[in-house]
Amino acid sequence: MAKLNVLQHELVPAHHVVKKEEEDKVLKELGIAKDLLPRISRSDPAIKALEEIHGPLEGGTIIKISRKSPTMGYSVYYRVVTSEVFK
């Protein structure tokens, strides 16, 4: 049986890795330091799915999440990968 890719589920918003060279641009646009961004655990299923494609993601990688929104069409959210495990 093929392994389920959570990112393809319709209830999971699209996760994209922000390339290293684009990070500065994104942070500048947001006007914020990296350590103030929301975080996402490395053990998160979405990250595991991304790692299948991109190989291991190191801590500090920015993930761009595009969510569907009834009022906006879609809305963008950013998270930083961390090795912390959230409870």
Partner 1 sequence: MTGGISKRIYRIQFALLSPEEIRKMSQVKVITADTYDDDGYPIERGLMDLHMGVIEPGLKCATCGGKVDECPGHFGHIELAMPVVHVGFIKEIKTLLDATCKSCGRIKLTEDEIRSYRERMENISLSTSDPEVIGLMSKRITEEASSRSVCPHCGTQHSKLILDKPTTFREEGIKVTPKEIRERMERIRDDELLFFGLNKEVARPEWMILTVLPVPPINLRPSITLETGERSEDDLTHKLVDIIRISQRLRESRDNGSPQLIIEDLWDLLQFHVTTYFDNQTAGIPPARHRSGRALKTLVQRLKGKEGRFRSNLSGKRVNFSARTVISPEPFLSVNEVGVPEKAARELTVPVSVNTFNVEQVRELVARGPEARDESDRYLAGVNYIIRPDGRRIKVTTQNAEENSKRVEPGWTVERQLTEGDIVLFNRQPSLHRMSMMGHTVRILDSQTFRFNLAVCTPYNADFDGDEMNLHIIQKEEARAEARIIMKVQEQIMSPRFGGPIIGGIHDHITAMFLLTHGNPMIPENVGVHMLSYLDLDEMPPVEVHDGKRYYRGRDIFSLILPKGLNLRFSSKLCASAREKCEYEDDPEDKYVTIINGRMVHGTIDEAAIGSFSGVIIDRIFRKYGPEATAKFIDSMTRLGVGFLSIRGFSTGISDYDIPESAIARIEEISNDAIERTEKLVETYRKGELMPSPGRSVEDTLEIEVLSTTGMVRDESGKIASNFLGLNNPSVIMARSGARAKMLNISEVAGMVGQQSVRGGRLNRGYYGRTLPHFKQGDLGATARGFVKSSYMSGLNPLEYFMHSIGGREGLVDIAVRTSRSGYMQRRLINAFEDLKVNESLRVEDTVGAVIQFKYGEDGVDPTKSDKGKTIDVDYHAYDIEHEVA
Polymer length in residues for the chain:
87
Find the shortest distance in angstroms from Cβ 35 to partner 1. Answer: 8
**Burial environment of residue 26 by CB neighbours within 10 A (0 to 12, 13 to 18, 19 or more):** middle
Looking at 20, 32, 43, 58, which residue binds partner 1 (CB under 8 A)? 32
| CA angle in degrees (0–180, nearest 5) for 57-59-61 | 65
Looking at 46, 50, 78, 81, which residue binds partner 1 (CB under 8 A)? 78
Q: Closest CB to partner 1 among 1 and 71?
A: 71
Q: Which residues of this chain interact with partner 1, rule CB under 8 A?
A: 30-32, 35-38, 67, 69, 71-72, 75-78
